[in-house]
A and B are shown apart, each in its own frame.
Chain A
Amino acid sequence: MIANYGCEDGSGIYYIRIDTGKCGDCQLRGCVGGCPQELFVIEEDDWGDEMAVVREDRRRTLQAVCAACKPQDRPPDPLPCQSACDRQAIEHTW
């Protein structure tokens, strides 16, 4: 499943996309410690499988939260969360 966490507002479209098909059998959970903003947590999905999700209280403010990792002049590629995910399951839409 492709899970898009985030929102759209007047300034743009801000979603973090997690491919749960890649994420589901990961044991390392690199995203949890790899994001400097501590955006990712592990939760059980509706079928009892553990998945990484974006914290619910941050989903409407991703633009601001992720700004620290995305300086406009030279954003790192890949981003820290993407580097930490060895399954390459994380994408940003902006």
Chain B
Amino acid sequence: MADRNIEKVEYWRWEESRWQNPEITDWRGSLVTAGVDIGSTSTQAAIMADGKLYAYASIRTGSNSPSSAVDAMNWALAGTDLTPEDLRYTVGTGYGRVNVPFADSTVTEITCHAKGANYIYGPTVRTLLDMGGQDCKAIHCDENGAVTSFMMNDKCAAGTGRGMEVIANLLAVHVEDIGEMSFRIDAEPPPVSSICVIFAKTEATNLMRSGWSKEKVLAAYCHAMALRVARLLERNEMRLDFAITGGIAKNSGVVKRIERLIGAEALRTDYDAQIAGALGAALMGKALYEKKGGKPR
């Protein structure tokens, strides 16, 4: 039998990224702090100089969390003339926060996302939806980015980034194209299961067999995901302004459906909303360093 050379495409793979602030040309004399957010599917490292975002990197979390933290930080540092020794205070956050080998302390991702959203979207944010790889959190915060309440659900991957990756692989659609594709439909279909990603996957398979287009199935899945998080928002009360962080914030198919369900528009930003946790951790690093009486170099 002839060998079949089939290339396996990983549709779930999203693009890793790095950014550096062109407005900061010299960090010397500044208090440089860093944050590393190790999530279940992605890891971000953010560097701040005197509370201003200097550079960040966002990579996929590998099987070894400590090395993911090191890789993300090295990539964030690359291109700057900073060395790890120049980082005055580093905070680890996310579910893998205890696995950041060079962290000075750890802070929960709830606190960090609120701080990061306050920086990214401004002080008017009161409700924050963090849609992560394996959980979803509804957070309320005040004008300083301090958390006033939170509610999370991590019992199932439905309504999370991982659930979206599963559907991307099933339908052979690149995960970054899902949002836009999900609007190429004549009418909004009913949602698939919003309770369990396994049920949702089975339903999606059956719908494809029954003749639904990929676009229609994606719309049904984005609708289900939006329903699930809208319920979480309603349970924890909805207060404006409202913003979304995490990888799913980049998926317009989910974001616009959430907005439709809750009757409010999410704030938009030019920042990558996926870095909110790491950015908040770097801000917490500055606050904790100053609390301990440290002085910038």
Contacts and interface: CB of A to CB of B under 8 A. Distances in A.
A93 B153 CA distance: 14
Interface string B224-244: 000000011001100000000
A82 interface: no
A9 B149 contact: no
If over half of B's interface residues share one DSSP class (helix, strand or loop), that class is named, otherwise mixed; here it is mixed
B155 A1 contact: no
A60 B134 CA distance: 14
Interface in B198-249: 231-232, 235-236
Contact of B154 (A1, A60, A93): A60
The interface size bin for chain B is 20 to 34
Given A3-B149, A46-B107, A46-B111, A9 B155 contact: yes
Given A13-B235, A46-B111, A46-B284, A7 B155 contact: yes
A76 interface: no
B156 interface: yes
Contact of B156 (A1, A9, A15): A9
Contact of B151 (A10, A15, A46, A60): A15
Interface residues of A, number: 13
A4 B235 CA distance: 10
A13 B232 CA distance: 10
A1 B147 contact: yes
B148 interface: yes
Given A1-B147, A7-B154, A8-B153, 7 more contacts: A2-B150, A8-B232, A9-B156, A10-B195, A13-B235, A60-B155, A93-B235
